[in-house]
Amino acid sequence: MRDEEKRPTQLLHSADDLRQLILDHPDLPLLVLASDDSNSGDYSYMSCGSVHAEVGEFLDCMQDVDDEYCFTDRDEFKEKIEDALYDFDVSEQELEIEVERRAAEYDPYWKPCIIVYVGN
């Protein structure tokens, strides 16, 4: 074995934070979100050098605001709704009311969870 092969890979991460989140919130489901650089496409599975976990919420329903996006932030969701309504010829106040109305339709589908973010 060569000396450079004896170095740690830096791919093992402490589970202390995630373990504590699970202990503090045992009823919450787990959501794993992988960044776009998580897998180069060369392998079925790739390890990730960056791992972070936090308690958050997830919009757990199909939606037509951006059907390729997993929303974990209500403000960002409202921004996307507003972007979609940008071409409507209404006042700023009417736009704000419509954004709030549309966002409120999704309120029952925001679910608390533990979100694990992984990437490279």
Number of C-beta neighbours around residue 93 at 10 A: 8
pLDDT at 104: 97
Q: What six digits make up the tokens of 1?
A: 């074995």
Query: What is the model's pLDDT at position 107?
Result: 97
Span 62-88, pLDDT tens digits: 998 998 999 999 999 999 999 988 777
pLDDT at 32: 95
Classify residue 41 by its DSSP letter: S
Q: How far apart are CA 10 and CA 28, in angstroms?
A: 29
Here the tokens at position 2 are: 């060569």
pTM value > 0.85? no
**Which residue stretches of the chain have pLDDT < 70?**
none
The confidence score (pLDDT) of residue 85 equals 86
Do residues 114 and 58 touch, judged by C-beta distance below 8 A? no
Residue type, 21: L
Residues 6+ apart with CB under 8 A from 34: 48, 118, 119
